[in-house]
Amino acid sequence: MEGIPHPIPRTVEEVFNDFKGRRSGLIKALTTDVDKFYQQCDPEKENLCLYGLPNETWEVNLPVEEVPPELPEPALGINFARDGMQEKDWLSLVAVHSDSWLLSVSFYFGARFGFGKNERKRLFQMINDLPSIFEVVTGNAKQPKDQSANLNGSGKSKSSAKASRQSEPQTKMVKMSPPSKDEDESGEEDEEDDEQGATCGACGDSYGTDEFWICCDICERWFHGKCVKITPAKAEHIKHYKCPSCSSKRARV
């Protein structure tokens, strides 16, 4: 249970930052930390809730005891459905409820501190620019048109694009980040612009030129190296990379 140990956001920007922090924590629970999350949701325990915290962490805990609660509460009893559904369906269900909870928390703050029509509209637009947790967890995060055209093969294939960003053989096993400006000075500026629209499959944030990225060979989603705990040095020795979500799915098949 949370009990608001963090500073209470009062402006649109502060509420949005609170939303992003909680969202990142929930995405970690349902992707990179999915095994730990799965174990904590024991159906033999009491009604449990999944909380995302503003500091980008998460916790599975009992609901708060005070009535009414200080903040809107997440879906109750997520652990009871765990063993009665396929894992991917259960995670998708938790993701949908998590999206709903995040919106309710943000607009609770908006109502509490008297946001007007324009402030509420601005807050929603900022939130709506990010993929939902459900989209991230299911791999259905919408890509910008120019990026999807690039990734789906209108020009170079995904594997050859990866290889061109490293001076190594052109195979799909090569894992590297989307191209940086320094590496892409050979007339491939359009490709760089396309790739820069990518979003991380774990945290949902957009591509940054100063960050290392890696692509899953199964679902073909891009991830920040830091989000999946892969360094550039470690990636050099990986022939076929499987993201945590794909690894956990295959382990339980």
Cα–Cα distance measured from residue 161 to residue 150, given in angstroms and rounded to the nearest whole number: 10
Structure tokens at 110: 């908006």
**pLDDT tier at 99, thresholds 50, 70, 90:** very high
* 3-class secondary structure, 214: strand
Q: Give the contacts of 132 (CB within 8 A, at least 6 positions apart).
A: 95, 99
The per-residue pLDDT for range 219-251, each reduced to its tens digit, is 888 888 888 888 887 777 777 888 878 777 655
Is residue 253 within 8 Å of 57, Cβ to Cβ?
Answer: no
In the block, residue with structure tokens 């159906």: 43
Cα–Cα distance measured from residue 224 to residue 136, given in angstroms and rounded to the nearest whole number: 14
Q: Quick one: what percent of the chain has pLDDT higher than 90? A: 45
pLDDT at 148 over 80: no
| Least confident piece of the model among 12-16, 96-100, 168-172, 234-238 | 168-172
Is residue 15 within 8 Å of 8, Cβ to Cβ?
Answer: no
